[in-house]
Amino acid sequence: MVRDDRLVAQVRGLIGADPGVDERRMFGSLIFMVDGNMACGVREDGLLVRVGREATDEALGRPHVTPFEMGGGRRPAGWVVVGADGLATETEVRSWVEQGVAYARTLPPK
């Protein structure tokens, strides 16, 4: 379950007051939803970010980024996990959270 209270607080501080933002516990993470679509989530091992299929390869080419792996070894396209070393500064956290929110806002509200 989520253990990085500092990262949760950072994400909440960045988007928690935005209209349409909601929090849900899923995948052993605290997921931040935007208009009913998953945008990002805080996990034990870092930040889960929904980047979209088109941006997956680029995101995976960045340091400290790995594919998101679900049970059974499934790796859904469009999702990555950014490890703690890739979230060392407020700027890095903000960049990843903004990318996840921007992608979620391209989707129709649920």
> What pLDDT does residue 2 have?
67
> What pLDDT does residue 46 have?
96
- Domain tally, the chain: 1
> Cα–Cα distances in Å, from 99 out to 3, 7, 94?
23, 16, 8
Is 70 exceeded by the pLDDT of residue 30? yes
CATH of residue 18: 3.90.1150.30
Does residue 110 belong to any structural domain of this protein? no
pLDDT 10s digits, 16-27? 999 999 999 987
Average pLDDT over residues 6-15: 96
Q: Calculate the CA dihedral of residues 65, 69, 74, 79 and round it to 10 degrees.
A: -50
Average pLDDT over residues 28-50: 95
* pLDDT band with cut points at 50, 70 and 90 for residue 73: confident
Domain enclosing residue 9, as ranges:
5-105
Of all residues in the chain, the percent with pLDDT exceeding 90 is: 83
